[in-house]
Amino acid sequence: MAAMVATAAKMGKTVLDSGWLAARSTEVELTGVQLTTTHPPSGASSPWMEAAVPGTVLGTLLKNKLIPDPFYGLNNETIVDIGDSGREDYTFWFFTTFHSKLDKNQLVDLKFRAINYSADLYLNGHKEVLPKGMFRRHTLDVTKLLHEGENFLAVLVHPPDHPGKIPAKGGQGGDHEIGKDVAAQYVEGWDWMCPIRDRNTGIWDEVSLTVTGPVKIIDPHLASSFFDHYKRVYLHATTELENRSELVAECSVSIQVTTELEGNFCLVEHLQTRGVSVPPGARIKYTFPELFFYKPHLWWPNGMGKQSLYHVGISVDVDGFGESDLWTHLFGFRKIESHIDKATGGRLFKVNGQPIFIRGGNWILSDGLLRLSKKRYQTDIKFHADMNFNMMRCWGGGIAERPEFYHYCDLYGLLVWQEFWITGDCDGRGEPISNVNGPKDHELFLFCAKDTIKLLRNHASLALWVGGNEQIPPGDLNPGLEKLLELHPHFQDGDKGGEPSDHKSTVGDADPSLYLDGTRIYVPGSMWDGFADGTGGWSDGPYTIQNPEDFFKADYYKYGFNPEVGSVGVPVAATIRATMPPEGWKIPLFKKLENGYVEEVPNPIWDYHKYIPYSNPGSVHDQILLYGTPKDLDDFCLKAQLVNYIQYRALLEGYTSHMWTKHTGVLIWKNMNPWTGLRGQFYDHLLDQTAGFYGCRSAAEPIHVQLNLDNFFIEVVNTTSEQLSDVALEASVWDLEGECPYYKVHDNLTIPPKKTLPIVLMKYCKSKSMKPVYFVLLKLYRMSDDGILSRNFYWLHGSGGDYQLLELYKKKRVPLKITSTASIKGSTYDLRMHVQNISKKPDQNNRLFKNFFCPKVYNGDYDTSSVEAANVATEKRENGALQMISSYFSRGKNDPRVVKTDGSDVGVAFFLHFSVNATKEHRDGEDTRILPVHYSDNYFSLVPGEKMTINIKFEVPPGVTPRVTLHGWNHHGGHAIV
């Protein structure tokens, strides 16, 4: 095996994330002392295998193909559950080696950021016990245990004490036994999740060696206070210093704050150094004098402004040694307040004094086998920012999210609601009722909570702490959390509904950085204190398909802030084929009931993957059948995307229609699945977006034009802090023949800030001349230059009607012109697709064709400067009415490439969507998609003469050439564009 090398003479951290071996404990006859002295394993030969670290036992077994993929088909049913096999079957050894060479007075800590659930550690024959708890850090001073040269490390990881058994009928949290431990509760299965057979046993987070001098920095805390309407800002910082030498350490402790400028330059905003004496063997707290900033760049949530972050560095130099330790962090100046709004009863959040209407979703975790990575986190969080969300709720049955998760939330502007590890289902409110006192070890729970707070508290995105999901932490846990999270006086007024106390100063009060947190509110449960009914009644939801117009009705949801409302989530057909065997490709049966409604009967694999049907007999007719009976999987999934788009756009538009008058926020249940589930998701586990993703992206725009589907008023939403003046609204109707029977412009509009304003009744939608199926295009634009601020496209039918005429519309051949440019930087492709419906020449006298899209500021992933241009070579072949163009990327001059699709019909190019695949020979059924892909929009439609630009960004594996294909409702079969 390859040994990890820690260059101990160099200060800092070395991550031990490769070269690990693992073996089932019952198959290893040697002791931990023997494994780390005389008989270390020599490589991946039985019983030893390559290990997934960070990761879990199940992930290690899958890596070595000793189990089938548990998320594929019904494979999970073939894997033995820990409740049946016993804990010893999933008790595993993990082993690695590393080299070290220490200079004089250097010290080394071995750190485990998380283990599930406890472990016996052996290093060069010396044993240490890593105590219980999934959400705690372990730090060991191993300086005296290290050998110069090779070192042997073995860790025997034990599963949770109470893994429980899985009842025959499943259940929310299985038999709830896992609730006795301080661990993730989803692992026993839920109504959206299969059971995780090892209960996530393993070294599931980062392992590292950290080299310091005699004095080390421990858990600095940064906080900021604001005065004079955010013009005067103070940075407060406290850190612990530990002197591990036998002499008094005379230290110079410094704090430096810098900000990045253009061109990779940094501006030093502050540099402060103070002398500190630390007694031998002592651990002290040191608080810096507060640092003053005048009008600093503030951190704003997504959609409200820029996510300005400062680099904060704290260092300690020791006389006679030099730099002993260094800590750095990205820090954002912002103040988050909230109170229970008197008008709505919902919790109303403010950031930097500005009210923010919350539109976001619930988050479980990225992957059920804890295959967590920075790259995956970046994709996950950017997807949420791309949907224009501004908050994510980390659900209490999942995990305390990792610093990397919060890092990307800081970068992309996602506020985070972090819950502790309590759920009503497992902690006193489930069926059957169990664990009414919560976890057995309350002291351990509060220790893990305290450690988690220290781990995450410096992140700008962290907005609030919540005790549990649909439950208050039982017994002394809730008062314990309240005490840990006591607010500093400067931050107390917001929770009472008052304004920031700008006249107050923290001078004379304890420094905010001396508190464990002190700056964020604590709410005891997800349905208390301004969430749901505010008193813990079962008042979140619903979780089934809804009639789109119902979301707008005054009686739809009567509380101010809904923490959970869920619905459907079928992915594209390619994902079904990639995650299920052929018997899982059978679409649901549609069973007609006596009451006229339809019940969907899914196949057993879909049922196991928690499929939510697109009908709710008794209240909602089958939304897929509105488009006609699907013929096969592809047809079903395409029609499901139509429903996904309408459903989630209507959900967010309905809540936003009542912004501040009835609601203060909504969180959708849920954003994605940590496995290959078939419900409540905007992108699947393989990272392909559903059309619901883009329905949300449209509805959650900071400035948005929408059609109220209940009363057919056109509304303009302005969630920004600036008034919109001299804007115009354009409304047009298009029929299936490509004609425009209705066209109106309403100009000289003024939209106040933080307001949803009804503008005009869309009379066509109630007229007798209304067509059975028709399209509505809404545009909000600046009158000064016709720049589009918001565009929204609907397809509608008459009352009591359906969309079955769209089935015939598939035969329409509407010609398109696609002009593409591409640039490449390494393995990253950045494409621009200018798509135009050329079925009708633009009327130059009509404003409809004069609009252009305003540039929108978004968070880029990478620097696009000095990129290499991509040239596209095209090869054409004709196949009847379908024109296929196979094109391949090659480096060269960045010339635009133009592709025209055949067609002579005039009409709307409906429900267009791009995809990216690898151009390679493949077996039938092989998934060739390149994922993830970031699209500026997808599942879009263009009226005659209209054009739109779509930006596409993705990375390709080595040696793979991508191909971009355009599909559509009346462009089936696909057009390969580049």
The DSSP element (H or E) to which 450 belongs, if any, is helix 442-456
Question: What's the Rg (C-alpha) of the chain?
Answer: 29
Q: How far apart are CA 157 and CA 164, in angstroms?
A: 18
In terms of Cβ atoms closer than 10 Å to its own Cβ (0-12, 13-18, 19+), residue 554 is exposed
Q: What are phi and psi of 380, to 5 degrees?
A: -55, -50
Give the sign of the dihedral formed by CA 622, CA 625, CA 629, CA 635.
negative
The DSSP element (H or E) to which 638 belongs, if any, is helix 633-657
In terms of Cβ atoms closer than 10 Å to its own Cβ (0-12, 13-18, 19+), residue 354 is middle
Measuring CA to CA, how many Å separate 403 from each of 54, 217, 511, 512, 915?
14, 18, 25, 22, 32
Measuring CA to CA, how many Å separate 857 from each of 304, 382, 728, 836?
11, 14, 22, 23
Report the candidate in 331, 97, 330, 69 with the shortest Cα–Cα distance to residue 207.
97
Residue by residue, DSSP assigns 286-332 as EEPPPEEEESPPPB--TTTS-B--EEEEEEEEETTTEEEEEEEEEE-
Q: How far apart are CA 361 and CA 359, in angstroms?
A: 7
Known active-site residue 722: no
Q: How far apart are CA 159 and CA 166, in angstroms?
A: 16
Terminal-to-terminal C-alpha distance of the chain:
44
Alpha helix (H) residue ranges in 111-186 = none
In the block, residue with structure tokens 């651990």: 283
Q: How far apart are CA 182 and CA 132, in angstroms?
A: 8
Q: How far apart are CA 232 and CA 235, in angstroms?
A: 10
Known active-site residue 564: yes
- Among the options 188, 206, 419, 564, which is catalytic? 564
- Among the options 470, 653, 701, 946, which is catalytic? 470
Task: With beta carbons less than 8 A apart as the criterion, state whether 846 and 745 touch.
Answer: no
CB hemisphere CA count around 451 (13 angstroms): 19
Q: What are phi and psi of 114, to 5 degrees?
A: -175, 140
The DSSP element (H or E) to which 478 belongs, if any, is helix 477-484
Beta partners for 240? 218, 285
807: helix, strand or coil: helix
Measuring CA to CA, how many Å separate 928 from each of 932, 964, 975?
12, 12, 16
Instruction: Read off the tokens for 765.
Output: 């939608």
Which H, E and C letters describe 718-757, residue by residue?
ECCCCCEEEEEEEEEEECCCCCCCEEEEEEEEEECCCEEE
Helices then strands, counting H and E runs in the chain, come out as 12, 50
Query: Which residues belong to the active site?
Result: 470, 564
